[in-house]
Amino acid sequence: LAGNKAKAIAAARAAGLPTLSSADPTTNLDELEAAAQEIGFPVFVKAVSGGGGRGLRRVDDPATLRDSLEAAQREADAAFGDPTLYLEQAVVNPRHIEVQVLADNTGTVLHLYERDCSVQRRHQKVVEIAPAPNLDPAIRASMCADAVRFAESIGYVNAGTVEFLQDADSGKFYFIEVNPRIQVEHTVTECATGIDLVKAQIHMADGARIGEPGSGVPAQSDIRINVHAL
């Protein structure tokens, strides 16, 4: 479920997380063109099975929408074997912030705070910082709580990353997707918290419970990060 971006958005919306305006997934480009007019521009064209920036296009000019849809669909089909696309409202000049979560198979979920991954090239993350610099503490708390709530709502197990965009002007943030796996940038969180995420994954896959003595997976109250360092 979390690996399908459109289904993840629907699940996040059902769980009460803030989401952007979006169009239902389809392979029908005429339907996507009509939906884009309702959402308004700029808009993102996204592959439901996408990742790594593939099958992703930002469209500012309605005149270029068809070409972008066709290009994204070809790329998605070649990369993922799935040409299904959906549309999402674009946030101009956003901060991209992701929350690391861990969940055991009893339904307990914790977060290990956030990473700022706003520095990107071609939608690929280049620099990650933990904790996110100059992030309002109330926003940090809300993002982390929403990440946990999402994982709890779908019965997520093991390590994952819940991703948000924050509007630079309003300060509001929106759920965009989940990476249902360990990411290469997990080491940034390990440095900031001192917790070995790969070790934690192995323990949870073996049935360990969060906060259980000797499990390698601490309770939420035992996780520390220096949020004032930056």
Active-site residue list: 181
Are the C-beta atoms of residues 228 and 137 closer than 8 Å to each other? no
CA 55 to the chain's CA centroid: 16
Two tokens, residue 66:
């068809």
User: Dihedrals φ, ψ of 52, to 5°?
Assistant: 65, 20
Distances in Å between the Cα of 39 and the Cα atoms of 29, 42, 43, 62, 83 are 15, 9, 8, 12, 21
Torsion sign over Cα 60, 61, 62, 66: negative
Encoded tokens for 209? 């419970």
Angle between the N-to-C axes of helices 65-80 and 29-39, in degrees from 0 to 180, rounded to the nearest 10? 120
137, 138, 229: which is closest to 188 by C-alpha? 229
By the 8 A CB rule, do 5 and 50 touch? yes
Dihedral sign for Cα atoms in the order 112, 2, 90, 147: negative
**Euclidean distance between CA atoms 167 and 126, whole angstroms:** 20
